[in-house]
Amino acid sequence: MKVSFLIHTIYGIGGTIRTTLNLAEELAGRHEVEIVSVFRHRDEPLFAVDPRITVVPLIDTRPKSPTNELKHPLALQPAEYFPAREARFKEYSKLSDERVRDHYAASDVDVVIGTRPGLVAYVAQFAPGCAVLIGQEHMTHNHHKPELRDELRPHLAAMDAFVTVSEGDAAVWRERMPLPGTRVLSIPNSVPEPMVAPADLSGTTVVAAGRLASEKQYDVLIEAFGKVVAVRPEWTLRICGWGKQKGRLRKRIDALGLYNHIQLMGPRSPIEPEWAKGAVAVSTSRHESFGMTLVEAMRCGLPVVSTDCDYGPREIIDDGVDGLLVPVGDTDAIAAALLRLIDDEDLRRRMGAAALSHARRFDPGPVAKQYEELFADLGAGSGAKAPEARTRVVRTPGPPEADRMGDPDAAGPLRVDCVAEESGAITVTLPGQRPDAGALVCVHPDPSVPDRTFPFDARGRAIIPGDDGFAEGIWTCHTAEAGPTGQRPPLVTRSVDQRGAMRAAQRVRPGAPVRSLVPYVRHGGLALRSWVRPVHAESAAVDVTGRGITVSGRLLGEARLTGDPALLLRRRGKIPGELEFPGARVGTDGFRCTVPLTEPVRVQADAHDVWDLWLRYAPGAEPVRIGRVLDDVVEKGTVHPYPAVDLLKARPLARLRAVLRRLRRRPQEKVTVKIFFSAGNELVINVVDKSGQVTT
Give pLDDT tens digits for 335-376.
999 999 999 999 999 999 999 999 999 999 999 999 999 999
What's the pLDDT score for residue 391? 32
> What tens digit of pLDDT does each residue of 590-637 get?
999 999 999 999 999 999 999 999 999 999 999 999 999 999 999 999
**Separation between Cα atoms, residue 490 and residue 483, nearest integer Å:** 10
**Separation between Cα atoms, residue 266 and residue 249, nearest integer Å:** 12
Domain contains 624: yes
Between strands 439-443 and 473-479, the pairing is: antiparallel
Crossing angle (nearest 10°) for helices 146-157 and 117-126: 30
**Separation between Cα atoms, residue 441 and residue 478, nearest integer Å:** 5
Domain contains 680: yes
- Spatial strand order in the sheet of 132-137: 183-186, 161-164, 132-137, 111-114, 2-9, 32-40, 54-60, 403-404
Residue 346's contacts (CB-CB under 8 Å, 6 or more residues apart) are none
**Separation between Cα atoms, residue 460 and residue 435, nearest integer Å:** 6
**Separation between Cα atoms, residue 176 and residue 533, nearest integer Å:** 67
Residue 83's contacts (CB-CB under 8 Å, 6 or more residues apart) are 89, 117, 118, 121, 148, 151, 152, 155
Based on the fold, state whether residues 485 and 586 are members of the same structural domain: no
**Residue 392's pLDDT band (cuts 50, 70, 90):** very low
pLDDT: which is higher, 406 or 18 = 18
Based on the fold, state whether residues 33 and 105 are members of the same structural domain: yes
Based on the fold, state whether residues 252 and 291 are members of the same structural domain: yes
Based on the fold, state whether residues 337 and 213 are members of the same structural domain: yes
Give the Cβ contact number of residue 441 at 10 Å. 18
What's the pLDDT score for residue 696? 41
Check pLDDT > 80 for residue 486: no
Lowest-confidence pick of 306-320, 483-497, 593-607: 483-497
| Residue ranges making up the domain that contains 267 | 205-361
290: nearest Cα among 158, 106, 448, 143: 143
542: nearest Cα among 529, 531, 552, 530: 552
204: nearest Cα among 171, 244, 237: 237
Check pLDDT > 70 for residue 529: yes
Based on the fold, state whether residues 213 and 166 are members of the same structural domain: no
Based on the fold, state whether residues 528 and 425 are members of the same structural domain: yes
Based on the fold, state whether residues 37 and 184 are members of the same structural domain: yes
176 phi and psi angles, rounded to 5 deg: -95, -20
Domain contains 604: yes
Domain contains 396: no
Check pLDDT > 90 for residue 575: yes
Domain contains 410: no
What's the pLDDT score for residue 165? 96
**Residue 15's pLDDT band (cuts 50, 70, 90):** confident
- From 318, 341, 361, give the residue that closes a domain: 361
Check pLDDT > 80 for residue 682: yes
Between strands 461-464 and 492-497, the pairing is: unpaired
What's the pLDDT score for residue 695? 45
**Separation between Cα atoms, residue 463 and residue 423, nearest integer Å:** 12
In order of 45, 82, 92, 169, 199, the CA distances from 177 in angstroms are: 36, 20, 26, 12, 43
Q: What number is the average pLDDT over the span 582-593?
A: 96
37: nearest Cα among 306, 442, 403: 403
Based on the fold, state whether residues 385 and 480 are members of the same structural domain: no
- Spatial strand order in the sheet of 262-266: 262-266, 236-240, 205-209, 280-283, 304-307, 323-326
- From 507, 533, 559, give the residue that closes a domain: 533
Cis peptide before 270 (omega within 30 of 0): yes
For residues 218 and 187, the answer to whether their CB atoms sit within 8 Å is: no
- Distance between alpha carbon 126 and the CA centroid of its chain, in Å? 35
> What tens digit of pLDDT does each residue of 48-103 get?
899 999 999 999 999 999 999 999 999 999 999 999 999 999 999 999 999 999 99
Query: Long-range contacts of range 572-578, CB-CB < 8 Å, 24 or more positions apart?
Result: 572/610, 572/611, 572/612, 573/605, 573/606, 573/609, 573/610, 575/605, 575/606, 575/696, 577/603, 577/605
What's the pLDDT score for residue 393? 31
For residues 463 and 471, the answer to whether their CB atoms sit within 8 Å is: no
Based on the fold, state whether residues 123 and 248 are members of the same structural domain: no
Based on the fold, state whether residues 262 and 147 are members of the same structural domain: no
Give the Cβ contact number of residue 447 at 10 Å. 8
Total domains in the fold of the chain: 4
**Residue 405's pLDDT band (cuts 50, 70, 90):** very low
Based on the fold, state whether residues 108 and 172 are members of the same structural domain: yes
Percent above pLDDT 70 for the chain: 91
**Separation between Cα atoms, residue 357 and residue 350, nearest integer Å:** 11
Alpha helices in 596-663 (DSSP H): 598-602, 653-663
pTM for this prediction: 0.88
Based on the fold, state whether residues 372 and 464 are members of the same structural domain: no
Average per-residue pLDDT for the chain:
91
What's the pLDDT score for residue 192? 95
Q: For residue 334, what is the domain's CATH number?
A: 3.40.50.2000
Query: Long-range contacts of range 123-127, CB-CB < 8 Å, 24 or more positions apart?
Result: 123/6, 123/155, 123/159, 124/154, 124/155, 124/156, 124/158, 124/159, 125/81, 125/101, 125/155, 126/81, 126/100, 126/101, 126/390
**Separation between Cα atoms, residue 24 and residue 36, nearest integer Å:** 12
Domain contains 63: yes
**Separation between Cα atoms, residue 632 and residue 277, nearest integer Å:** 10
**Residue 438's pLDDT band (cuts 50, 70, 90):** confident
What's the pLDDT score for residue 484? 72
What's the pLDDT score for residue 507? 92
Lowest-confidence pick of 436-440, 551-555, 659-663: 659-663
Q: What number is the average pLDDT over the span 575-603?
A: 96
What's the pLDDT score for residue 689? 86
Alpha helices in 15-136 (DSSP H): 15-27, 94-105, 117-126
- From 468, 499, 533, give the residue that closes a domain: 533
For residues 695 and 671, the answer to whether their CB atoms sit within 8 Å is: no
